[in-house]
Structure 1
Amino acid sequence: MPSFDTLIDSVPTGLWIDGQSRPAASGREFDVLNPATGEVLAQVADAGATDADAALTSAAAVADEWAATAPRIRAEILRRAFELVTQRKDDFALLMTLEMGKPLADSLGEVAYGAEFLRWFSEEAVRINGRVTTAPAGTGEIVVTKEPVGICLAITPWNFPLAMGTRKIGPALAAGCPMIVKPAEDTPLTMQLLAAVFAEAGLPAGVLSVLPTMDAAGTVAALMADPRLRKISFTGSTRVGSTLIAQSADQVLRTSMELGGNAPLLVFDDADLDAAVDGALAAKMRNGGEACTAANRILVQRPVADEFTERLTAAIADYTVGPGWEDGSRLGPIINARQRDRLAALVDDAVAGGARLRTGGAAVAGPGFFYAPTVLDDIAPDSTILREEVFGPVATVVAFDDEEQGIALANATEYGLAAYFYATRLDRIQRVSRALQAGMVGVNRGVISDPAAPFGGIKQSGLGSEGGYEGIAEYLNTKYIALPPTPLPH
């Protein structure tokens, strides 16, 4: 393996509090592993309740000043952060490949996507609008203003270590809110490097803190029990999100929840099969399938099911598996041994239930935590793999007979984050777009995320939206000011 010591040595490994890296109050540290080798990349500080209090104290000391900072100044800091991340794209990409495992091409794509949230919300910072109207009865003026909600907590996942942070930090800072980030314990290094970049961009000390920890439950509970915290934004599993929503009730916190997904991708008999196969590969295999928007269930109308499955299988079987920094690698490792073993158990259960294994279906010998790209079809309707998030490079194909059945199968889940479909008939496109129960629908495209569009789900996939014009509203309170009637001039 090449030496990556220079890059790792440039990344802060302490807690980021009050504009600097420092050790945890307990002195504890934990290991961050390279999932492609199983070796230790770095040791980082392990935050606890005492550190949570320190981060809140630091944020509270600057909260009023940051809220009062001119929108243009906040915008310029975000814009400088965007430019610095873009300038250091190779460092960020390699760091994500090392700690998360995705191929460098995917990491570079995430840097571009993640940085764009900083640019987008730099532009939104100066467009926070209110309104003034005359009361219908003529009894006064109705003034509506928008104000920052206050100190926010962001809990980010391991699968997109940069973009899931910028998607939350960008709107919070644009709105005038300090932010505390609890990154995933598997991938804290990217967020720590981002904190240092924000300091270089001129962000005042205390406005952004980063608390890596192995005691997520305890550290987060300490933050959420403190009345100085006013909002939590979480991306992760529905199970954890539900717990956080319940915890948020004690302090009546504002919540944004981007939770689990079980996205369908439908291929109808009038679809362009070349485009459908390409779209399915993008929706399923992007980020190694480790995405909440990944196409978990590929539903294909029976007249084209065999041809589509054969083409998809050939394409997936051709994926080169290996460390993400190696030339030609298209599929990196699973994030850790636990997730790899969970993925293997889902596939084994489906095959034991009668599913046909078209390709793959086994872990790849180490070092590291690799799993072969896999395709299954003829899957039992009650198979666990069709009900749970797969979160890995395993494509499941299910045939359906007609449009009504396809839509019913797509909607037969408690989740509602993303859905995709391929068709060419305009009447079908209109019907299916409206009938799919999801917060986001991709029509003849397998990648739908866009910083300028709202990202969010319905049902048990979450609350609120990130990105788009809607994203900054999650960090703003609405205030109504009742003014007396304006006197007429004499």
Structure 2
Amino acid sequence: MRQREPAVLIDGVWRRAASTLAVDDPATGRPLACIAAGTDADIDQAVTAARRAFREGPWPRMPAFQRAALLHALADAIERRQETFALLESLDAGHAIGSVRKGDLPLGLRSLRDYAGLATKLAGDVTMGAAQPSSMEYFLREPIGVVGIITPWNAPFLMVLQKLAAALAAGCTVVIKPAELAPLSALWIGDLCLEVGLPAGVVNIVTGTGESAGQALADHPDVNLISFTGSTRVGRSIMAAAANSNLKRVVLELGGKSPVVVFADTDLDKAANAIAAEITFKSGQYCAAGSRVFVQRSAYDALLGRIHAAMDRVRIGAGHDPATDMGPMISAAQRSRAVDLIEHSRAEGARVARGGGARTGEGYFFEPTILTDATADMRVSREEIFAPVLTITAFDDDASPHAIAALVNDNRYGLSAKLWSRDLGTVHSLIGLLESGQVIVNGGGSGGATLPFGGTKQSGYGRENGLVGLAHFTEVKAVRLAY
């Protein structure tokens, strides 16, 4: 891979930027790198290149097994450099390098390889009925066209690969706008796309701000689909841009305020460790993290003490330090917002049982935090904090499944929910009542990315992963043939 310089990737060529943006190291607050500040003109050139590659190039017409082979080649190229990517992600996004090695890297590689396999499984269908000697009816699945990919800063490597793999498997061409706070892994992925031989114009990358490059991509009339992961506020603006431009499709994976329901019959040690680990994973900057804990009253004190103890064991430091369990938050602005939300709720009567503020010294570190006595109407209970902050609330031991569901569903988000109980009758009665795109019971299964992922309510629109996710990158064409 070449030495990094501020540039955008358009039509198979890195083009030097007219202006630049600084990228900070969140562990120190000091500059880490310099990237291109992409403009409307850059986005337009990238979309034009992607459209030309889609209409005239070999990629959409290439046999699916050949596209699959190039996805496998890209996975192999990344795997050979996985330590470089792990270090880059730990510096750029601040994540603990151990979590990148165990989580983001294998999941990203698995996405490439899973979608390589699914590339040959996309199929239309023939309607059932008696054979007709002079006619036939069937439908095709075709690549949707040019896909705009807008990725977040909390899992930059993983999000680029998950969306890119699906788009390429379907035969689409793409323009990627990575998050300006953590764009570096996307740029290295762009280098490897060229190295393995993806045709010019199939993958284009334009860095820049959301207000400039991101908005231009959402507004562009020659983009067929926007795949976005980020805040609900930005998701709304992308949906509006889609409606006001060319009615482009959207897949939106947005915010979360995920509930965790803990019953007294569960393994409280296992539940507490899992709750603490998830809320400190990526410093709480994880859309599906369980941040609202509801526990049966008879187990409240025992669970609270165990979560305290688990948080005591979390080692905080720079992401590239192998001893670190939790790195910094991404920026001073994100950390300040978390502090403001906590202080607002404290003034309304919530109690800070531990943590609650920024760590002193350089970098954007935040203390693992537990809030009690937070009522449902407080901002800390309703808004996505995106920080290592839990609220813990007791419910009556004899509360009915409907009463528990009403308590946890009282939120505008519906991305993920967690249940902890040994009673499968209780579990199954709640699964059907929870307003959530996913339910994880007793820690879940393998943790792979083959099940559809996405949210209900204001947590998003559409699904990612597997054949369900891949279908979003296709158009259905019905054919009625007479001969």
**TM-score normalized by the length of structure 2:** 0.95
Give me the whole-angstrom Cα distance separating, in 2, the residues matched to 1:280 and 1:223: 37
Give me the whole-angstrom Cα distance separating, in 1, the residues matched to 2:322 and 2:47: 44
- Does residue 1:105 correspond to 2:98, yes or no? yes
Alignment match of 1:237 (pick from 231, 235, 241) = 231
Give me the whole-angstrom Cα distance separating, in 2, the residues matched to 1:176 and 1:280: 40
Q: Report what 1:488 is aligned to.
A: none
Give me the whole-angstrom Cα distance separating, in 2, the residues matched to 1:282 and 1:54: 43
Q: Report what 1:36 is aligned to.
A: 27
Q: Report what 1:130 is aligned to.
A: 124
Query: What amino acid is the match of 1:119?
Result: R
Q: How does 1:10-409 map to 2 (within 5 A)?
A: 10-11=3-4, 13-24=6-17, 27-64=18-55, 65-108=58-101, 109-135=103-129, 140-214=135-209, 216-249=210-243, 250-401=245-396, 402=399, 403-409=401-407
Whether the aligned pair in 1 keeps the contact of 2:98 and 2:322 (CA below 8 Å) is no
Give me the whole-angstrom Cα distance separating, in 2, the residues matched to 1:137 and 1:114: 45
Give me the whole-angstrom Cα distance separating, in 2, the residues matched to 1:390 and 1:15: 32
Q: Kindly state the Cα deviation for residue 133 of structure 1 after the two structures are TM-superposed.
A: 3.0
Whether the aligned pair in 2 keeps the contact of 1:317 and 1:360 (CA below 8 Å) is no
Give me the whole-angstrom Cα distance separating, in 2, the residues matched to 1:382 and 1:326: 39
Residue deviations 1:351-410 (CA, integer Å, cap 9, x gap) = 222222222112111211111111121223322111011211112111111244322121
Q: Report what 1:460 is aligned to.
A: 458
Q: Kindly state the Cα deviation for residue 135 of structure 1 after the two structures are TM-superposed.
A: 4.9
Give me the whole-angstrom Cα distance separating, in 2, the residues matched to 1:382 and 1:227: 41
Give me the whole-angstrom Cα distance separating, in 2, the residues matched to 1:300 and 1:36: 34
Give me the whole-angstrom Cα distance separating, in 1, the residues matched to 2:263 and 2:386: 25
Residue deviations 1:224-265 (CA, integer Å, cap 9, x gap) = 444321111111111111111111013010110111111001
Q: What root-mean-square deviation, in Å, do the aligned CA atoms of Structure 1 and Structure 2 show?
A: 1.8
Q: Kindly state the Cα deviation for residue 417 of structure 1 after the two structures are TM-superposed.
A: 0.7
**Structure 1 stretch displaced more, 333-342 or 369-378:** 369-378
Whether the aligned pair in 1 keeps the contact of 2:281 and 2:326 (CA below 8 Å) is no
Give me the whole-angstrom Cα distance separating, in 2, the residues matched to 1:223 and 1:199: 22
Structure 1: 4+ residue segments shifted above 4 A: 134-139, 446-449
Whether the aligned pair in 2 keeps the contact of 1:350 and 1:380 (CA below 8 Å) is no
Whether the aligned pair in 2 keeps the contact of 1:100 and 1:159 (CA below 8 Å) is yes
Question: For residues 61 and 145 of structure 1, do their structure 2 counterparts lie closer, same or farther at Cα, with a shift above 3 Å needed?
Answer: same
Q: Kindly state the Cα deviation for residue 12 of structure 1 after the two structures are TM-superposed.
A: 5.1
Question: For residues 218 and 327 of structure 1, do their structure 2 counterparts lie closer, same or farther at Cα, with a shift above 3 Å needed?
Answer: closer
Question: For residues 404 and 131 of structure 1, do their structure 2 counterparts lie closer, same or farther at Cα, with a shift above 3 Å needed?
Answer: closer
Query: What amino acid is the match of 2:83?
Result: D
Whether the aligned pair in 1 keeps the contact of 2:5 and 2:34 (CA below 8 Å) is no
Whether the aligned pair in 1 keeps the contact of 2:207 and 2:213 (CA below 8 Å) is no
Whether the aligned pair in 2 keeps the contact of 1:12 and 1:189 (CA below 8 Å) is no
Whether the aligned pair in 2 keeps the contact of 1:134 and 1:140 (CA below 8 Å) is no
Whether the aligned pair in 1 keeps the contact of 2:208 and 2:214 (CA below 8 Å) is no
**Structure 1 stretch displaced more, 269-278 or 149-158:** 269-278
Q: Kindly state the Cα deviation for residue 221 of structure 1 after the two structures are TM-superposed.
A: 3.7
Give me the whole-angstrom Cα distance separating, in 2, the residues matched to 1:226 and 1:102: 33
Q: Kindly state the Cα deviation for residue 47 of structure 1 after the two structures are TM-superposed.
A: 0.5
Gaps of 5+ in 1: 1-6, 486-490
Whether the aligned pair in 1 keeps the contact of 2:402 and 2:433 (CA below 8 Å) is no
Whether the aligned pair in 2 keeps the contact of 1:372 and 1:393 (CA below 8 Å) is yes
Query: What amino acid is the match of 1:365?
Result: T
Query: What amino acid is the match of 2:62?
Result: T
Q: Report what 2:479 is aligned to.
A: 481
Whether the aligned pair in 1 keeps the contact of 2:297 and 2:395 (CA below 8 Å) is yes
Give me the whole-angstrom Cα distance separating, in 2, the residues matched to 1:134 and 1:156: 41
Whether the aligned pair in 2 keeps the contact of 1:346 and 1:384 (CA below 8 Å) is yes
Whether the aligned pair in 2 keeps the contact of 1:279 and 1:447 (CA below 8 Å) is no
Q: How many residues are aligned here?
A: 475
Q: Kindly state the Cα deviation for residue 482 of structure 1 after the two structures are TM-superposed.
A: 0.4
Q: Kindly state the Cα deviation for residue 210 of structure 1 after the two structures are TM-superposed.
A: 0.9
Give me the whole-angstrom Cα distance separating, in 2, the residues matched to 1:373 and 1:446: 24
Whether the aligned pair in 2 keeps the contact of 1:32 and 1:40 (CA below 8 Å) is yes
Whether the aligned pair in 1 keeps the contact of 2:38 and 2:212 (CA below 8 Å) is no
Q: Kindly state the Cα deviation for residue 449 of structure 1 after the two structures are TM-superposed.
A: 5.2
Give me the whole-angstrom Cα distance separating, in 2, the residues matched to 1:374 and 1:134: 58
Q: Report what 1:411 is aligned to.
A: 409
SS in 1 for 2:156: coil
Whether the aligned pair in 2 keeps the contact of 1:13 and 1:192 (CA below 8 Å) is no
Gaps of 5+ in 2: none
Q: Report what 1:4 is aligned to.
A: none
**Structure 1 stretch displaced more, 76-85 or 333-342:** 76-85
